[in-house]
């Protein structure tokens, strides 16, 4: 078998090399609702007070206790002060605060053409979707094999060391030499996200399609689009090597 460099999405999600230290921003807090269905409906009702122009600059996030409606996100206070008065006219209790995006889950971002919770993949009728769980990944090493859909000889094998604190070390074993650190999490829809900087935290994820005791077949989604390459997660390097030798 001929191993050559695997470009494009072969090292999916791992090319970002920014530090993992969370950057703090300024934002405008408009409203909060409890972290339950009633609280979420309240936040959506509050959001509908905004006209289309102001709505395009807001987002809904969730932490352990609340759903929160925010407007604008800037690395300087002046970046939010210039629009603060417009939101203050509608939300009397609105205020400017420092914000750490790494502490919350982004639910909807109305500045985007597609909202993150709208990425849900609908199963076919009668089909039960498979979901990633923390037990599948925490404190494990996964060997991720990427096979180019157009050139079967182009492959990459990446070892993902997934730790209990949701940090990760990865190393390309076969393919373009690369290694680094990252983070990961499983969302409430059973999707496996891997990222190295906050800007891509909710953009790229894996969906579990098939699973047995030796490997998992997954789909990779990047910026809301499914990639064409075949991807298999193996639980052991020996199984991954055995599979590659059969290609």
Domain ranges of the chain: 25-99, 134-246
- pLDDT for 19 equals 40
Give tens-digit pLDDT for 126-158: 456 789 998 889 999 999 998 877 666 678 889
Fold entry, domain 134-246: Lipocalin (2.40.128)
Rounded percentage of the chain residues whose pLDDT exceeds 70: 81
Q: How far, in Å, CA of 87 to CA of 199, rounded? A: 25
Q: How many CB atoms lie within 10 A of CB 12?
A: 20
Q: How far, in Å, CA of 68 to CA of 28, rounded? A: 10
Given the DSSP bridges, would you call strands 215-222 and 192-195 parallel, antiparallel or unpaired? unpaired
Q: How far, in Å, CA of 224 to CA of 220, rounded? A: 10
- pLDDT for 86 equals 95
Q: Side by side, which strands form the sheet with 58-62? A: 95-99, 25-34, 66-74, 58-62, 105-109
Tell whether domain 25-99 is in CATH 3.30.70.1070. Answer: yes
Residues of the chain where predicted confidence (pLDDT) is lower than 50: 1-22, 113-126
User: Which segments of the chain are extended strands (E)?
Assistant: 25-34, 58-62, 66-74, 95-99, 105-109, 140-147, 155-162, 167-174, 179-186, 192-195, 204-211, 215-222, 225-226, 230-234
Report whether 200 contacts 13 (CB < 8 A): yes
Distances (CA, A) of 186 to 24, 44, 96, 135, 192: 23, 24, 31, 10, 5
What's the pTM? 0.54
């Amino acid at each position: 078998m001929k191993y050559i460099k695997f470009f494009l999405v072969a090292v999916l999600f791992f090319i970002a090399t920014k530090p993992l230290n969370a950057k703090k921003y300024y934002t405008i807090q408009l409203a909060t609702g409890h972290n339950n269905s009633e609280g979420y409906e309240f936040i959506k009702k509050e959001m509908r007070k905004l006209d289309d122009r102001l709505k395009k600059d807001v987002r809904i996030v969730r932490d352990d206790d609340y759903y929160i409606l925010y407007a604008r996100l800037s690395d300087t206070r002046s970046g939010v002060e210039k629009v603060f008065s417009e939101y203050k006219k509608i939300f009397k209790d609105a205020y400017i605060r420092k914000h750490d995006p790494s502490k919350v889950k982004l639910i909807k971002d109305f500045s985007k053409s597609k909202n993150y919770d709208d990425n849900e993949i609908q199963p076919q009728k009668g089909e039960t979707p498979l979901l990633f769980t923390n037990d599948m990944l925490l404190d494990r090493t996964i060997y991720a094999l990427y096979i180019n859909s157009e050139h079967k000889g182009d492959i990459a094998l990446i070892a993902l060391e997934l730790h209990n604190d949701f940090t990760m070390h990865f190393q390309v074993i076969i393919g373009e030499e690369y290694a680094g650190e990252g983070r990961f999490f499983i969302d409430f829809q059973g999707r496996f996200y891997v990222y190295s900087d906050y800007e891509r935290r909710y953009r790229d994820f894996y969906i579990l399609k098939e699973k047995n005791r030796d490997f998992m077949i997954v789909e990779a989604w990047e910026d809301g689009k499914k990639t064409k390459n075949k991807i298999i997660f193996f639980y052991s390097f020996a199984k991954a090597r055995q599979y590659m030798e059969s290609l």
